[in-house]
Amino acid sequence: MFIEIERDLLHDGLSKSVPITEKKSTLPILSHVLFNAHDSTLQLTATDLSVGLRLIYDCNVNESGMLAIPGKKLSEIIRELPPGRVSMQSSDTGRIKILSGNSQFELAGMDASDYPAFSGMEAVETGSIQAEKLLYMIDKTLFASSNDESRFNLNGVLFEQNEQVIRLVATDGHRLALIDEDLGMSVPSRVLAPKRGLLELRRMLESVEGPIELGFEQKNMCIKSERFVMTIRLIDGDYPDYRKVIPEASEKKLKSDRIKLLQTLRRVAILTSERNKGVDVIINSGKIEITAVHPDLGAARDELEVEYEGDPFALLINVGYFIESLSAVDTDNISLEFHREGAPVVIKPEPEKTYFNLVMPMRR
């Protein structure tokens, strides 16, 4: 293999592919990126056997070939090179020379035939959707999924068909985020995509404009664009019946400036502890009062004028979850709906949109 490619293009490809490589695997080749050069095209492939990514770039191919190259170390080299053309040439012994200006490097590669097979999912039926809309839906839900890998069925986002729209739902058992959008396509009745895969997909979608192809098969989710193909292995597990925790509409409704409420919560959160993120929230006519007590450092109290006419209401809530839920809303104003004691707080954009969040109160 002998190629010439712009440093910025190669750096872009490695910055997207290297995070997917598996650094701690018992299979050393999973820490490598597969280079495949042919017909004026360079394909970069990375996988950890759960998430797979193939990127396509234009380059000068003087000699076709394939080689698996250590991803992290190559990325470090390319990152430090100045803008300009980089040449890469492999030898019969499986080593790769990297040349740029006066800089020269040599890395030991691995045989491309040992690299795990990557399926481009050519046989998967896909539908066309706008990349921006899928990114929007992921941003509105992914934060609420669990970080506890032992609870694998909560460690992702549920995709399901809900009449004429596609619904995404995420929950970690303490909070929930839901969005409905008409994507102009359908999905299997219920599929569960893992959090890590969606984080990598989100990173890819940030730099994509226009339509992409989305499809599902029995075990994988597939996303295609002109310049990349990504596969994400789906979670094989039952998702809890989230509908049971969504309360009916309530007359106890508070309206507030979202940014001012966020600022108030962040100030009070300073005096919460690592072990206990609970803050007391007291709602009275026209105002909300938030207090926190740190067992060793002291206490904080703040209040904010809001729109609320009703009976006083009090609850203990995880301030971190509350802040994250408010941060996921993209309107200037929000509404909070309160129900009976122990029921979740429903957080909605104001005016209402196709999504909402809810946070379960803490026990005293």
Q: What is the CATH number of the domain that holds 34?
A: 3.10.150.10
Does residue 255 share a domain with residue 339? yes
Listing DSSP states for 50-81 in one string gives SEEEEEEEE-EEEE-EEEEEEHHHHHHHHHHS
Contact 335, 325 (CB under 8 A): no
The reply to whether 24 falls in a domain is yes
Burial readout 239-266 (b: 16 or more C-beta within 10 A, e: otherwise): beeeeeeeeeeeebbbebbbeebbebbe
The reply to whether 281 falls in a domain is yes
What's the confidence (pLDDT) of residue 120? Answer: 67
Contact 5, 88 (CB under 8 A): yes
The reply to whether 210 falls in a domain is yes
Among 243, 262, 290, where does a domain finish? 243
What's the confidence (pLDDT) of residue 339? Answer: 83
Neighbours of 175 (CB within 10 A): 25
Does residue 326 share a domain with residue 259? yes
Q: Considering its fold, how many domains does the chain have in total?
A: 3
At a CB cut-off of 8 Å and minimum separation 6, what does 236 contact?
219
What's the confidence (pLDDT) of residue 189? Answer: 73
pLDDT tens-place values along the chain, 364 residues long: 999 999 999 999 999 999 999 777 778 999 999 999 999 999 999 999 999 999 999 999 999 999 999 999 999 999 999 999 999 999 999 999 999 999 999 999 999 999 998 876 677 888 899 999 999 999 999 999 999 877 888 999 999 987 778 999 999 999 999 999 988 887 877 899 999 999 999 999 998 999 999 998 888 999 999 999 999 999 998 899 999 999 887 778 999 999 999 999 999 999 998 888 999 999 999 999 999 999 889 999 999 999 998 889 899 999 999 999 999 999 999 999 988 778 899 999 999 999 999 999 998 7
Domain housing 214: 126-243
What's the confidence (pLDDT) of residue 100? Answer: 96
The reply to whether 341 falls in a domain is yes
The reply to whether 120 falls in a domain is no
Does residue 96 share a domain with residue 25? yes
Contact 181, 166 (CB under 8 A): yes
Does residue 330 share a domain with residue 268? yes
Does residue 261 share a domain with residue 188? no
At 32, list the tokens.
């490598």
Instruction: Measure CA 307 to chain center.
Output: 34
What's the confidence (pLDDT) of residue 190? Answer: 87
Does residue 251 share a domain with residue 216? no
Residue 133 host element (H or E): helix 131-139
C-alpha span between 184 and 127 (Å, rounded): 8
- Comparing CA positions, the residue from 117, 116, 110, 73 lying closest to residue 90 is 110
Backbone angles phi, psi at 237, to 5 degrees: -170, 165
The reply to whether 119 falls in a domain is no
C-alpha span between 7 and 13 (Å, rounded): 10
What's the confidence (pLDDT) of residue 248? Answer: 82
What's the confidence (pLDDT) of residue 290? Answer: 97
Contact 334, 261 (CB under 8 A): yes
- Comparing CA positions, the residue from 47, 223, 243 lying closest to residue 158 is 243
